[in-house]
Amino acid sequence: MIVMTDVEVFDVIKPFSYAGKDLVKGDEWSPAGGKWDEQMIGAQVYVKSRDPLAEEHKQTRVRVANERVGKTDPAWILKLGMTLEKAREMIDEDLLALKGIGPARLKEIRA
């Protein structure tokens, strides 16, 4: 049996009708004491519990990712076994001869 505390809010993950309203994915849903509320919550097919810290976690992930930008070499240059500094020292013809480096990547290296 699922015990609900206060007024819980759930996120709709599959469209359904409830109390005369059509709910679509992304809407908020709060149980109103209907006959099938516990089954809907327990099955997690139409609704899922909302993590109260989810937005805070998302903002933290975005902030950490933004702090990392520019601190490491791009993955495509690491696959070539070199660093961005080494690539900047090479002449254009040698860079263009490497697999995966074209005019667009060359501009990125020279920037």
User: pLDDT higher for 73 or 35?
Assistant: 35
Helices (H), the chain: 37-43, 54-68, 75-79, 84-89, 92-97, 103-110
Can you give the pTM of this predicted structure? 0.41
Buried b or exposed e, range 39-64, using 16+ CB within 10 angstroms: ebbeeeebbeeeeeeeeeeeeeeeee
pLDDT at residue 57, rounded to an integer:
78
pLDDT, tens only, 40-59:
888 878 888 877 677 677 77
Q: How far apart are CA 49 and CA 84, in angstroms?
A: 45
pLDDT at residue 4, rounded to an integer:
47
Alpha-carbon 52 to chain mean position: 17
